[in-house]
């Protein structure tokens, strides 16, 4: 299985490393290289893999499926939608050190990084990210294109809306609802429901002007 990683920046490199770790555990795959729209990266090598061109070069790049290495939620959602429309296939990148309960549902193109934890009844939406050493407890729902950043922890029954970002080291109490396309700042503590498109920070989390 030939895989091209879309995006060669920091998050793209994390995704490529997850794929490499999957390969070392016996998954049959070949990471062909990266595509990235930054012209400064074209022709370079990242993690020993070539940056083969821009996203527009995908049709000419041999591949069986794609991994999304784009950190920004809105950009990743847009690229995912465009590629789905073009009937592209995606790999779900799950680091071997991730801990998933047997009944966890993981959506298409999701990324589960090193040390991440998803407990019983959790649902991880398509194109979502559960980043390094983050956790979602029992019956959490992580919406499509959402991102739980490194070291963030969600207690049981938390619902994270589509495209929401839960920042580095943030947390949420049981049953909290975090609205679609909202942003929870680094280290914030969500103790009440968060509306859609809100930006919250602090302990407890409050709206930021």
Contacts of 133 (CB under 8 A, 6+ apart): 113, 114, 115, 116, 150, 151
Burial zone of 121 (CB within 10 Å; 0-12 exposed, 13-18 middle, 19+ buried): middle
> Whole-angstrom Cα distance, residue 47 to residue 120?
35
Burial zone of 155 (CB within 10 Å; 0-12 exposed, 13-18 middle, 19+ buried): middle
Contacts of 112 (CB under 8 A, 6+ apart): 18, 93, 94, 95, 98, 100, 106, 118, 124, 130
The most distant pair of C-alpha atoms in the chain lies apart, rounded to whole Å, by: 50
Give the length of the chain: 209
Q: What is the DSSP string of 102-155?
A: TT-EE-TT-EE-TT-EE-TT-EE-TT-EE-TT-EE-TT-EE-TT-EE-TT-EE-
Domains in the chain, start-ordered, CATH in brackets? Answer: 2-91 (3.40.50.20), 93-201 (2.160.10.10)
Q: 3-class SS at 192? A: coil
Q: 3-class SS at 92? A: coil
Please, what is the end-to-end C-alpha distance for the chain in angstroms?
47
pLDDT one digit per residue (tens) for the chain, 209 residues: 999 999 999 999 999 999 999 998 888 899 999 999 999 998 899 999 999 999 999 999 999 999 999 999 999 999 999 999 999 999 999 999 999 999 999 999 999 999 999 999 999 999 999 999 999 999 999 999 999 999 999 999 999 999 999 999 999 999 999 999 999 999 999 999 999 999 999 999 999 96
């Amino acid at each position: 299985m030939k895989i091209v990683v879309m995006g060669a920046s920091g998050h793209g490199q994390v995704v490529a490393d997850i794929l490499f770790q999957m390969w070392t555990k016996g998954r049959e795959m070949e990471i062909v290289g990266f595509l990235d729209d930054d012209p400064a990266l074209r022709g370079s090598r990242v993690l020993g893999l070539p940056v083969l061109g821009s996203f527009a070069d995908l049709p000419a790049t041999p591949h069986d499926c794609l991994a999304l290495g784009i950190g920004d939620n809105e950009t990743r959602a847009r690229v995912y939608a465009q590629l789905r429309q073009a009937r592209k296939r995606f790999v779900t990148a799950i680091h071997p050190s991730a801990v998933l309960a047997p009944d966890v549902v993981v959506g298409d193109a999701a990324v589960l990084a090193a040390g991440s934890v998803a407990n019983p009844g959790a649902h991880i939406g398509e194109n979502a990210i559960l980043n390094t050493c983050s956790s979602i407890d029992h019956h959490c729902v992580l919406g499509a294109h959402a991102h739980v950043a490194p070291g963030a922890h969600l207690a049981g029954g938390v619902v994270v809306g589509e495209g929401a970002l839960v920042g580095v080291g943030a947390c949420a109490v049981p049953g909290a609802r975090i609205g679609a396309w909202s942003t929870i700042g680094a280290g914030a503590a969500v103790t009440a429901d968060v509306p859609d498109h809100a930006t919250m920070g602090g302990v407890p989390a409050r709206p930021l002007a």
